[in-house]
Homo-oligomer: A and B are copies of this chain.
């Protein structure tokens, strides 16, 4: 998933960026509201992590702006422990969640996953595709009783496909989910990861739709 991190504190920012990247997400890090607007103008994000106190304004304003857009991403607010009123105001302004600083990075992962699942509108937290069982929340896969290990990138691709099982996901969409802004990838990386995924979870799980993209088998 592609995440927009809006945070001016370098320590928190880099920690979050690192941790989310390890989970296979692509993170764009904006240190100011105006930078965030620039990012949002050109890219589309699956999630926004929003600090409320920023050098050039209040995060709530950003929230209000973004809520007016149709393609709004879910927003998780990052807030200090003692600012309950901000938190409530944020939730009322349309935020989906909040994390209290300093927060546990494991909890960050859990919340990111929860949001992703929520917006993927998946009725069940686990997928069972024939003899294959996928538990996105726990990042775990069973194939015929055997645990399957995926690398971060492989997982990111699979995650992208699981957002809408049965629907077609374009190569560009997957690419956008894999790579942060600015890192130009001039290659067939997506094809390579699909290839590896197929070897690990079974070739017929992922169907190629020529000229369009890929699709996760829904049975």
A193 to chain B, nearest CB (A): 14
Considering the chains assembled together, what is the distance between the CA atoms of A58 and B72 in angstroms? 36
Question: Is the CB–CB distance between B138 and A168 below 8 Å?
Answer: yes
Interface residues of A in 31-76 (CB under 8 A from B): 67-68, 70, 72
CB pair A110 B124 closer than 8 Å = no
A162-202 CB contact bits vs B (8 Å, 1 = yes)? 00101110000000000000000000000000000000000
Number of copies of chain A assembled together: 2
Partner of A210, one of B147, B152, B164: B152
Contact between B167 and A138, CB atoms less than 8 A apart: yes
Closest residue of chain B to A150, judged by CB? B209
Say which residue of B113, B121, B124, B152 sits within 8 Å of A91 (CB atoms). B113
If the complex has contacts A88-B104, A166-B138, are A93 and B151 also in contact, measured as CB distance less than 8 A? Answer: no
Query: Please, which residues of chain B bring their CB within 8 A of the CB of A135?
Result: 167
Stretch at the interface among A1-9, A12-20, A94-102: A94-102
Which residues of A from 120 to 172 have beta carbons under 8 Å from B?
121-125, 135, 137-140, 147, 149, 151-152, 155, 164, 166-168
Q: Which residues of B sit under 8 angstroms from A140, Cβ to Cβ?
A: 166-168
> Which of chain B's residues have a CB closer than 8 A to the CB of A211?
151-152
Which size bracket describes the interface of A in this complex? Answer: 35 or more
Binding site for B on A (CB under 8 A): 67-68, 70, 72, 84, 87-88, 91-97, 104, 106-107, 110-111, 113-114, 117-118, 121-125, 135, 137-140, 147, 149, 151-152, 155, 164, 166-168, 207, 209-212, 218
Please report the C-alpha to C-alpha distance between residue A84 and residue B151 in the assembled complex, in whole angstroms. 27
- Evaluate contact between B93 and A152: CB separation under 8 angstroms: no
Distance in angstroms from A139 CB to nearest chain B CB is: 5
How far does the alpha carbon of A91 sit from the alpha carbon of B91 in the complex, in Å?
Answer: 18
Q: How far is the CB of A138 from chain B (nearest CB, A)?
A: 3
Query: Whole-angstrom distance between the alpha carbons of A93 and B211 in the complex?
Result: 37
Chain B's closest residue to A95 (CB) is: B114
